[in-house]
């Protein structure tokens, strides 16, 4: 099992070990901080301003039907491409920090949330620890992940398949592009 090598280019500003990563963002709950779209946009802004991150590029926003309980609002989703010197665990820490900044509370499993941020890909690295599974589990079955990923990088390969050859990356069931 392998992924396309995805090391970002070296630079002379202290970012010589940049790794190209992809994060998946989702929100379907408004709160005093903002609406779902605002939660995602604020998280993207924070990633772009982070000292250990370079080259932040976001997909369009998409509306998707919830995977879990159906008595909850549709989600707003996006994928972000970035280069970072952060380790996988530090990147997960940052994802969880972004969730806390959106005042995420856990109401129920796969339920509504102000912000969910997942590490989808960390370069070509395969990770399987108690805390982190990368590529993210279920990535191949989720059109709200694959379609924005393919929008950002149609050349990407996942598990020795080009993303554009994965059927779910063309399946728009329950998905609408918002912007």
CA distance 72 to 49: 32
Is the Cβ of residue 14 or residue 67 nearer to ligand AMP in the bound state? 67
Q: Are 52 and 86 in contact (CB under 8 A)?
A: yes
In the complex, least distance from residue 25 CB atom to ligand AMP, rounded to whole angstroms: 11
Helix axes 88-101, 36-49, angle to 10 degrees: 140
What proportions of the chain, in percent to the nearest 5, are helix, strand and coil?
25, 25, 45
User: Binding ligand AMP by CB under 6 A: which of 133, 140, 151, 174?
Assistant: 133
145 binds ligand AMP (CB under 6 A): no
Q: Would you give the binding string for ligand AMP spanning residues 64-103, x where CB under 6 A is met?
A: ----------------------------x--x--------
Stretch that binds ligand AMP, among 8-16, 67-75, 129-137, 158-166 (CB under 6 A): 129-137
User: Binding ligand AMP by CB under 6 A: which of 1, 5, 131, 167?
Assistant: 131
CA angle 152, 98, 163 (to 5 degrees): 20
In the complex, least distance from residue 108 CB atom to ligand AMP, rounded to whole angstroms: 11
User: Binding ligand AMP by CB under 6 A: which of 136, 143, 145, 157?
Assistant: 136
CA distance 80 to 98: 13
CA distance 25 to 29: 13
Catalytic residue among 113, 128, 165, 177: 113
CA distance 114 to 104: 5
Active site residues: 104, 113, 116, 118
| Contact footprint for ligand AMP (CB under 6 A) | 92, 95, 116, 118-119, 131-134, 136
């Amino acid at each position: 099992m392998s992924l396309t090598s995805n090391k970002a280019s070296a630079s002379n500003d202290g970012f010589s070990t940049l790794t190209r990563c992809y994060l998946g963002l989702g929100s379907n709950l408004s709160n005093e901080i903002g609406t779902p779209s605002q939660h995602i946009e604020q998280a993207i802004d924070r990633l772009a301003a982070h000292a250990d991150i370079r080259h932040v590029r976001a997909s369009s926003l998409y509306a998707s039907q919830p995977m879990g309980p159906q008595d909850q609002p549709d989600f707003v989703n996006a994928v972000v491409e970035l280069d970072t010197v952060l380790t996988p665990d530090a990147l997960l820490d940052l994802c969880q920090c972004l969730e806390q900044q959106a005042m995420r509370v856990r109401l129920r499993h796969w339920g509504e949330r102000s912000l969910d941020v997942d590490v989808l890909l960390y370069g070509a690295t395969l990770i399987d620890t108690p805390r982190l599974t990368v590529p993210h589990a279920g990535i191949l079955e989720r059109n709200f992940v694959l379609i924005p990923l393919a929008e950002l990088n149609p050349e990407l390969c996942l598990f020795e398949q080009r993303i554009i050859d994965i059927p779910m990356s063309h399946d728009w069931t329950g998905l609408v592009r918002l912007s």
